[in-house]
Structure 1
Amino acid sequence: MPVTMTTRVALALAAAGLSVVAAPSATAHEGAGDVATNTRGEQVAERGAGVRMSHVANLQYDRSGEAQNGSDIEFVRIDGRDYALAGTLDLGMQIIDITRPTAPRRVAVYDCKVSQGDIQVWKKKNRVLASYTADSTLGEEGAASRCGRDLKLGLDDAGTIIVDLTTPSRPQSVSFLSVPRGSHNMTVHPSGNFLYNSNSDLATSTAPAVTIYDISRPSLPKKVQDYRIPYVPTSLGSESHDITFNASGTRAFVAALSQTLILDTRNPRAPKQIGQIIDPSINVVHQSDPVTLRRKDGSTRSLLVITDERAGAAASVECPGGGLHVYDITGSRVSEPVKIGAWFIDAVRPQEGTTCTSHVLRMYPRQKLMTIAWYSQGVRVIDIRGLATATGSPETVAMGSGIGMREVGHYVFPDSDTWSFKTNRISRNGSFYGYGNDLVRGFDVYRFRGLTNRTVPPLVPQDLGSDHRSTPSGLLAPAAAVVPAVWVALLLHRRGRRRPS
C-alpha cells in the first residue's frame, strides 16, 4: 500500500483518537489459555444491539457473580433431543438440552475442572463420545474433580479426557490421553478412529509436532506418532493451535500460530505435508477452515479461511482486531494457495482494553453461511456465497462486505466476550437459533431472522460437530514488527459508505 495513503490514514486515525499499533505478544495462549478480559457484574447485561438478530436466553454456569469462562461449544442429537456441549476454562463440561431453544435446560455437568475445555463429539457403534482438553496441568482442583478421580490423574497430568455421553444426564469417564505439553485443542478424524492433538506452545518450542493417537478403542487409546511439522524461526511459534479435517478426512488444515499447513490424510496414521502458508499479515493463525462452494455453471471452488486471533486474545486498544484471510485452494492450488484478500467486521473504534479480534468460526457450505465469535464485538453471521466467484489479491481488504463475504447479522452486549458461536440447525429461509459460549456471560441463545432476498437449503439437526476440527513462503516477521496496516485500508473503505441497516 502506498506510503502516502498510510500517512493520510494514520493522521485520520489520530484525529479520531485511534492509533495504528504493533500487535503485542500472544501470551494468552500459554498455560491456562485465553483469559476473560471484561469485568463482570453481579448480573450480565440484558440488552444489547443487533442487526437481523435478537437475544433469546442466557444460562449461567456459576451463580457466584464471577466470570463464567465459557469456551468451545459443540452439538449432539440423542434419542430425538438436541444438546449443546459447552466447555469452560474451569467449571467442567456443561450439558444443555436445547430441544426448545428458547428454554435451554442444563441436564448435567461433567465435573472436570481443567483449563481450555475444547470439545469434539462423535459416535462409535452405539456410543456417543466426546473429548475434553486440559491445556495445562490439572493441579489440585482438576485432580480432585470427578475426571481426575475416575481416571486416577495426578496434579501434573495434562492432555485429553474421553467422556461417554450416551446418556447425557449421566456422563461417564472413559479414558485419558496423556500429553505432557497439554491439549490446547484436539481434532477427531471423521472416521472416529484417530485424534490429532494441538498443544499451541509458543516460541519456546523448537521441535513442533502434531501428536496422533489411535482411538479406535476409546477405552484403550494408543499413541501413533509425533508428526513433525516445520519450525518457523523468529515467529510467535510453530506449534499447531487447531486442526480441521475436510468432510471425507482426506485433508487436514493445521492452524499453527505462524503458519497453516495442508496435510494429505488419506492414511491418517501417516499424514504427508502438501502445502504451507506463511502470511506475515497474520499475527496469530488461530483456525484454518476449508469450504467448497458450487458456481452457477456447476463447477466448484475450494477456499481456505484463516482466522487471525490477533495478539492471542490479549486486551485490545482498537477494533476490529485480527480478521479473516481467504485463500483459493481449488485443484492444484492446494499445494500453492493463492490469497484473494482479507475481511474484517465493520467496527473501527477504540476498544478500551477489552479483547476485540476474530475467534471461533463454523462453515455451513450447503447454506453458504458462516458464524463467528468476535469476543467483545459479540456474534456475527456472514453470507459466504460470493466466495464461489470472488476475485482479489493479497492486498485486497474488505470491511463488512467484500471478497465474496457479506455480514448479514450481528448482536453485541456491553459485556460480550464471546469465545464461540455456532448453530446446529438452519431453516430454509436461513433463519436459525445460534448459541454463544461467552467468557463473561456463559451460555447465550440468539435468533437470526434469516435473509429475505434468497432461499437456502435447510440444515438438518446435527448428530455430531460437522467441522471435525473436525504456499507463498517466507519468514514471518517478529510479532513486535507486525503492524496491522489493514486499518489504513479499512478506514478509507469506511469513508463515504453507509453502515448496513
Structure 2
Amino acid sequence: MTLLNEPRRRRRSTGVAAAAAGLLAALLTAGPAAATPDPGDGAVTQKEVSRSAQAQVRAAMSDGEIPGQDEVVHSDNIEHVANIPKEAFTGFNSDLAFQGKYAFAGNYDGFRIFDISNPRAPRTVAQVLCPGSQNDISVSGDLLFLSTDSSRSDSSCNSTTQPATEKSSWEGMKVFDISDKANPKYVAAVETACGSHTHALVPERRNVYVYVSSYSPNAAFPDCQPPHDGISVIKVPRKAPEKAAVVSFPVLFPGEGQDGGGNPGSPTNPGVAKTTGCHDITVLPSKDLAAGACMGDGILFSIKDPEHPKVLDQVEDNVNFAFWHSATFNQKANKVVFTDELGGGGAATCNATVGPNRGADGIYDIVGKGEKRKLVFKSYYKIPRHQADTENCVAHNGSLIPVKGKDLMVQAWYQGGVSVWDFTDSAHPEEIAYFERGPLSTGTLSVGGSWSAYYYNGYIYSNDIAKGFDVLKITDRRTDPAKRVRLRELNVQTQPDYFD
C-alpha cells in the first residue's frame, strides 16, 4: 500500500475551457463514436492533442486552475485513506463487488480480492489471472461471476485472442467458487451470443439468474448475428453451478428485419448509437423492476418472471445522449439515473466545448403504477469542474449512498475523478463532494481514472484504471446517516433494499 501525502484541497475552476482540438471535433462529428464503449475494448492507445491544447493544460496547472500531473485534490469533506497500486502485469481495472470484509475488483486480465476489514489498510488476498475484455464482476454466496467480452480461443483462463469470425471462438460468462477467498476455483463457463460486456444478477434461494448484456452484432460473426435486440438469461443452480445454462433470450426491442426495433442511430439520429443490444442492466429485486441502458435507448421493465422480463417503457434522447451506458434506481424506485458514455470513455468530454448536457447523467422520474409506469425526463447532471483535453472524462459507474429520505449518489468520471451528488430534487441536482487526480499526461490523451466508485459500509471504494484501488471516507452531515447501514453483500447492478 502506498503512503498518502496530504493533497492540496482546491476546486478546479469551472471557467477553464479546454481547446476545441481536432480530436474532440472528430469525436462530436463522427456519429456514434461510442459504438464500442469502455476504453479497454480496443488496443491501448495514446492520442496526442494539439500544441495549443498542451499549452493550455500547462498554463492551467501553473495558474492553479487544475491540479498538477497526478496531484490528488479533493473537497474538505473527503479523505483519501488508502491506495493499492495496480499490478503492472494486469490490464485496465474495471468493476467492483463486495461481500462481508472483501472487495472484488475486476481487471482486463482477471480479478483481485482485497481484505477490507480495515479500510485504511486493505490487503490483497488473491490475484486470479483469467484474461477477457471487461471482466465485469459480481458475487452471490459462494459464487463469483465474470464477464468475457473479447473473442477467445476457448473458455479457459489460458485462452488467447481469436477472431469472432471463427465459429470455434468463445466469449460469455465464467463462474468461480469463492468459498475459499484465497483460492478461487473456476467451475463453469456459459457461452452467450455476442459475449458478455456486463451482467446483472437476479438472486434467488436455489438459483441465480444472470442477465447478460452484449451488443454490436455482425453478419460475419457466427455467434453474434443481427439484430441481437435482447439479452441472454442464464440460470445457475447454487449447489450445481456446473449446470449453468442459457434458459431464454428475451427480445427487448421487437421489430422487423435485421435492425430490430431499437433506436436506428445515425444517420437518422446523428451522433447516437444504434441499438443492437444493451450495455448494462440494473435490477431492483425488491420491486421486481429493472432499468436497461441500451445504446440508443433507456428502458424500464418488470422482472416479476425473471426468465421472461417485460418492457414497461422505452425512452430516447436524440439531442444529448450518444450512448446509454448504465442505470441507477433511487431507493423509493420512483427515479432512475441513466448515464451517457459519450466517446466510449476514451475521450475528453468534460469541458466547455462539450458543455453540461452531453456525456452527463440523465435523471428520470418514474410516474404511474404497475404496467403503466413511465419514465419522465427531469434534468441532467455533470461534474462542475472542467478537465483538460488530455483527460478522458465522462459519466460512468456509481451507486447510491443510503440515506433515508434523500437521493444521494457517488459516481466515477474516469479522470474527472469521483463525485458525490444529491438528486433529491430531480430537476436541480448538485454536487456535495469530490475527489480526483491531475492529468496523467500533459501532452497526450491517456486513458485512466476511476472506472467504478461505490459506497459500501461506511467508505467509498474506487477502482482506478491506471492508479489502482482507492479508499475514500466522506464526512458530511448529509451522508453521515449512511454509516449506520450495513450490508453483507453488494453488487451495484443488483440494487439492495437498504432499509428493508
| Residues 224-256 of structure 1 deviation map (CA, whole Å, 9 limit, x = unaligned) | 111112132135232111111114161111110
The residue correspondences of 1:285-434 to structure 2 (distance < 5 A) are 285-293=324-332, 302-316=334-348, 318-319=350-351, 322-332=359-369, 335-349=373-387, 351-366=388-403, 368=406, 369-384=408-423, 386-387=424-425, 390=426, 392=427, 403=428, 405-414=429-438, 415=440, 417-426=449-458, 433-434=459-460
- Separation of aligned partners in 1, 2:29 and 2:218: 16
Percent identical pairs in the alignment equals 25
Q: 1:378 to 1:139 in 2, by over 3 A?
A: farther
Q: Is the 8 A contact 1:36 1:69 kept in 2?
A: no
Q: How does 1:94-493 map to 2 (within 5 A)?
A: 94-123=112-141, 128-139=142-153, 143=156, 145=158, 156-191=169-204, 192-201=207-216, 205-216=226-237, 217-230=240-253, 231-235=262-266, 236-238=273-275, 239-248=277-286, 250-280=288-318, 281-293=320-332, 302-316=334-348, 318-319=350-351, 322-332=359-369, 335-349=373-387, 351-366=388-403, 368=406, 369-384=408-423, 386-387=424-425, 390=426, 392=427, 403=428, 405-414=429-438, 415=440, 417-426=449-458, 433-448=459-474, 450-452=475-477, 456-470=481-495
CA contact (8 A) 1:327 1:341 kept: yes
Give the alignment partner of residue 29 of structure 1, picking from 33, 37, 41. 37
User: Mean Cα displacement is larger for which, 313-322 or 237-246?
Assistant: 313-322
Equivalent-residue separation in structure 2 for 1:307 and 1:218 (angstroms) = 33
1:38 is displaced (CA, Å) by 6.9
* Maintained 8 Å contact 1:37/1:354: no
1:87 corresponds to which residue?
106
Q: What is the CA distance between 1:138 and its match in structure 2?
A: 2.7
CA–CA separation in structure 2 for the residues paired with 1:371 and 1:259: 23
Against the structure 1 CA distance between its residues 14 and 46, is the aligned structure 2 distance closer, same or farther, given a 3 Å change threshold? closer
Listed one character per residue, the Cα deviations across residues 257-307 of structure 1 (whole Å, up to 9, x for unaligned) are 1001211111111111111111112111001221134xxxxxxx7101101
Q: Which range is displaced more, 233-242 or 328-337?
A: 328-337
Task: Tell me, in whole angstroms, the C-alpha distance in 1 between the residues paired with 2:209 and 2:140.
Answer: 11
1:135–1:163 CA distance, 2 compared to 1 (3 A): same
Q: 1:23 to 1:308 in 2, by over 3 A?
A: farther
Q: TM-score, normalised by structure 1?
A: 0.74
Q: How many angstroms apart in 1 are the aligned matches of 2:135 and 2:375?
A: 32
Task: Determine the C-alpha separation between the residues in 1 that align with 2:38 and 2:392.
Answer: 17
Aligned residues: CA RMSD: 3.2
Distance (Å, rounded) in 2 between the aligned partners of 1:420 and 1:376: 12
Cα distance in structure 1, aligned partners of 2:461 and 2:479: 23
C-alpha deviation, 1:171, in angstroms: 0.6
Whether the aligned pair in 2 keeps the contact of 1:190 and 1:468 (CA below 8 Å) is no
Moved more, 310-319 or 109-118: 310-319
Q: Distance in 2 between matches of 1:453 and 1:446?
A: 16
Q: What is residue 485 of structure 1 aligned with on the other side?
A: none
Aligned length, in residue pairs: 408
| Equivalent AA in structure 2 for residue 167 of structure 1 | D
Deviation at 1:37, TM superposition (A): 6.7
- Which whole-Å CA distance do the structure 2 matches of 1:185 and 1:55 have between them? 29
3-state secondary structure, aligned to 2:487? coil
State the secondary structure of the residue aligned to 1:408: strand
Structure 1 residue 222: Cα displacement: 2.0
* Paired residues of 2:350 and 2:359 also in contact (CA < 8 A): no
Counterpart secondary structure, 2:369: helix
Question: Which amino acid counterpart does residue 435 of structure 1 have in structure 2?
Answer: Y
Give the Å deviation of 1:36.
Answer: 6.2
Q: Distance in 2 between matches of 1:453 and 1:29?
A: 34
**Which residue type is aligned with residue 198 of structure 1?**
S
Question: Per the alignment, do residues 315 and 155 of structure 1 end up closer, same or farther by CA in structure 2, a change over 3 Å counting?
Answer: farther
Q: 3-state DSSP class of the match of 2:188?
A: strand
Please report how far the alpha carbon of residue 203 of structure 1 lies from its aligned counterpart in structure 2 after TM superposition: 8.7
1:185-214 Cα shifts (integer Å, max 9, x gaps): 011113253111101327984331111111
Pairs within 5 Å for 1:48-67? 48-51=72-75, 52-63=77-88
In 1, the alpha carbon distance for the partners of 2:398 and 2:189 equals 27
CA apart distance, 1:466: 4.8
TM-score normalized by the length of structure 2: 0.74
Residues 31 and 363 of structure 1: CA distance in aligned 2, closer, same or farther (over 3 Å): closer
Rate the CA distance shift 1:31–1:292 in 2: closer, same or farther, 3 A: closer
* AA matched with 2:34: A
The answer to whether the Cα contact below 8 Å between 2:18 and 2:389 also exists between their aligned partners in 1 is no
Are the equivalent residues in 2 in contact too, given 1:28–1:314 (CA < 8 A)? no
Note closer, same or farther for the CA distance 1:85–1:453 as it changes in structure 2 (3 Å cut). closer
1:411 CA displacement: 1.0
For 1:400, the equivalent position in structure 2 comes to none
Amino acid corresponding to residue 203 of structure 2 in structure 1: P
Q: Distance in 1 between matches of 2:17 and 2:210?
A: 51
How much has 1:361 moved relative to structure 2?
1.1
Superimposed CA distance per residue, residues 155-177 of structure 1 (whole angstroms, 9 cap, x where no aligned partner):
82111101111111111112111
Superposed CA offset, 1:411-442 (max 9, x none): 1112351100112113xxxxxx2111111112
CA apart distance, 1:443: 1.1
Distance 1:37 1:30 in 2: 13
Separation (CA, whole Å) in 1 of partners of 2:69 and 2:107: 20
Query: Which residue number in structure 2 is paired with residue 298 of structure 1?
Result: none
Secondary structure class of the residue paired with 1:84: strand
Unaligned runs of 5+ in 1: 1-12, 149-153, 294-300, 393-402, 427-432, 471-501
| DSSP 3-state at the match of 1:347 | coil
- Using a 3 Å threshold, how does the CA distance of structure 1 residues 187 and 59 change in structure 2: closer, same or farther? same
Deviation at 1:317, TM superposition (A): 5.5
Distance 1:201 1:288, change over 3 A: same
